[in-house]
């Protein structure tokens, strides 16, 4: 190869290299994920939930106002509460029926959870105050309750212009009609995008981080047949544990500026 050709090839290769720091790990987030204070049963799920990669994809930073919708047992709270403790603001939006139990969990560890704010699911944060809203595996619940449109509208209202909405959900096959009640716990990706866009959001990213091709999505008890629920108990337990947690999609939306 001629010297000039070598220079061209070298320049082209250099253009393909990542910019310095472009893929640098958020060390504060890594510390929160690695904390020995996290529940062992939650840590065991990291192989499926990939918390560091998911939150970095969404773009969560430690100085942001972040709202988590329906935090459930607290998997993400154990990470986000310490991560946002010093510089950020963290809201957990829960339904009225779940509020008392959730308050008890937060009160059990004031050092970690003392700064966590609890809001109502209908108004997750003051209008225009949030940098990021995240929701993990909840869209099927709102569909079953017939409230999905109102819920997505509440996210839009809570976010600042330019704010980000991160959505994770169990992926339904795209070649079958969507059950409007999502009775088996699976939701089509395009259906979720339509819900968000109807509320005014723009899709700005999608990730295959949480894909699981082993999930056939035709289980006797729907998505709850799989871990961590294992709704069939000991029946075919090894089979479903080998599949792992559901095939999930991860979407990133933005409220227009």
pLDDT tens by residue, the chain, 257 residues: 444 443 444 444 444 443 333 457 899 999 999 999 999 999 999 999 999 999 999 999 999 999 999 999 999 999 999 999 999 999 999 999 999 999 999 999 999 999 999 999 899 999 999 999 999 999 999 999 999 999 999 999 999 999 999 999 999 999 999 999 999 999 999 999 999 999 999 999 999 999 999 999 999 999 999 999 999 999 999 999 999 999 999 999 999 99
Any bridge partners for residue 250, and if so which? 168, 207
Place of tokens 């062992």: 40
Looking at domain 24-213+249-254, its CATH class is alpha beta
Tell me what pLDDT residue 220 has: 98
- pLDDT, position 25: 87
Is the CB of residue 174 less than 8 Å from the CB of residue 206?
no
Gyration radius of the chain's alpha carbons = 20
Contact 130, 67 (CB under 8 A): yes
pTM assigned to the model: 0.90
Tokens 């212009």 label which residue?
161
């Amino acid at each position: 190869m001629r010297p000039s050709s070598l220079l061209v090839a070298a320049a082209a290769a250099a253009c393909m290299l990542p910019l310095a720091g472009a893929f640098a790990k958020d060390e504060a987030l890594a510390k929160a994920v690695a904390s020995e204070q996290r529940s062992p049963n939650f840590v065991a799920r990291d192989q499926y939930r990939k918390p560091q990669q998911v939150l970095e994809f969404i773009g969560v930073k430690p100085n942001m106002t972040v709202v988590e919708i329906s935090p459930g047992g607290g998997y993400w709270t154990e990470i986000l509460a310490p991560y946002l403790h010093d510089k950020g603001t963290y809201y957990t939006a829960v339904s009225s029926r779940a509020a008392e139990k959730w308050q008890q969990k937060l009160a059990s560890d004031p050092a970690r959870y003392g700064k966590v704010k609890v809001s109502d699911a209908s108004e997750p944060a003051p209008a225009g105050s949030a940098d990021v809203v995240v929701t993990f595996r909840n869209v099927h619940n709102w569909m079953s309750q017939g409230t999905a449109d109102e819920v997505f509208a509440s996210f839009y209202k809570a976010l600042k212009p330019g704010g980000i909405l991160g959505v994770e959900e169990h992926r339904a096959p795209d070649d079958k009609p969507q059950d409007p009640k999502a009775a088996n716990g699976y939701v089509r990706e395009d259906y979720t995008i339509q819900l968000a866009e109807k509320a005014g959001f723009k899709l700005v990213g999608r990730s295959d981080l949480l894909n699981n091709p082993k999930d056939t999505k035709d289980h006797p008890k729907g998505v709850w047949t799989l871990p961590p629920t294992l709704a069939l108990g000991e029946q075919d337990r090894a089979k479903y544990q080998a599949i792992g947690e559901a095939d999930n999609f991860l979407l990133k939306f933005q409220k227009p500026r």
